[in-house]
């Protein structure tokens, strides 16, 4: 078994996870990136999507994350700050579906650049949630 590092995921409604992990896989701009212990110190960007991390007992924990930042510390610890992070089983599919439809509606109407960007981001979040929820049923 690979060595463990401390993983901390903080979302805006509380600390999602704080504990040891063997490997973390997160979505980046150009595909998924895995981080193990003794990773180089760095700062990176997490995209909207699904992250997974291997727990001490070898099981994989999945979570749907919205965009955020990730930093690796010299001691190998990893901290992720994201707006939201949820377990697939906690996602309210109904709400996510509604949000998706709202975002699609908003996209169809002519609107300003900011609103357009926000709708795209909203849509990406809703789709990530729905995808995550349906995969882990």
Partner 1 sequence: MASTKEIQNRINSIQDTMKITRAMYMMSSMKLRKARKKLEETEPFFKGTQIGLAECLAHFPDIRHIYFDNRVEDDHETVKKHGIIVFTGDKGMAGAYNHNAIKLAVDRVKGIAEGDECTLFVVGEVGRSFFMNGGYNVDENFRFSSNNPSMHRARVMAAYMIDLYNKGELDRIDVVYTKMLNSITEEVCVERLLPLKTHKFIKEQAEEIAADSEGVSKASREMKEGIKHVHSINSYEMEAISQGDTFIPFYPSVSVVLEKLVQNHFTAFCYGALVECSASEENARMMAMQSATDNAEAILHDLSIEYNRVRQAQITQEITEVIGGAKALKKKKEKKKLQNK
d(CA 90, CA 92): 6
Nearer CB in complex with partner 1: 94/113: 113
Nearer CB in complex with partner 1: 2/12: 12
- Estimate to the nearest angstrom the gap between the alpha carbon of 64 and the chain centroid: 5
Nearer CB in complex with partner 1: 30/57: 30
Q: Which residues contact 113 (CB under 8 A, 6 or more apart)?
A: none
Nearer CB in complex with partner 1: 21/119: 119
> Helices 113-135 and 93-108, interaxial angle, to 10°?
150
Interacting residues toward partner 1 by CB under 8 A: 10-15, 28-30, 33, 40-45, 67-69, 71, 79, 81, 83-84, 113-114, 117-118, 121
10 Å Cβ neighbour count for 39? 16
Question: From the CB of 34, what's the least distance to partner 1, in Å?
Answer: 13
d(CA 22, CA 92): 29
Question: From the CB of 23, what's the least distance to partner 1, in Å?
Answer: 17
Question: From the CB of 67, what's the least distance to partner 1, in Å?
Answer: 7
């Amino acid at each position: 078994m690979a060595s463990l590092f401390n993983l901390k995921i903080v979302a805006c409604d509380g600390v999602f996870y704080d504990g040891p992990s063997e490997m973390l896989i997160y979505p980046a701009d150009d595909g998924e990136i895995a981080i193990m212990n003794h990773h180089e110190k760095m700062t990176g960007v997490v995209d909207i999507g699904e992250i997974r991390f291997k727990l001490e007992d070898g099981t994989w924990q999945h979570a749907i994350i919205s965009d955020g930042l990730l930093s690796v510390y010299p001691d190998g610890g990893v901290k992720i700050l994201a707006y939201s992070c949820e377990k697939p089983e906690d996602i309210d599919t109904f709400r996510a579906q509604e949000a998706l439809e709202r975002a699609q509606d908003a996209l169809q109407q002519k609107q300003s650049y900011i609103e357009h960007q926000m709708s795209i981001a909203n849509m990406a979040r809703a789709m990530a949630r729905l995808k995550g929820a349906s995969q882990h049923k």
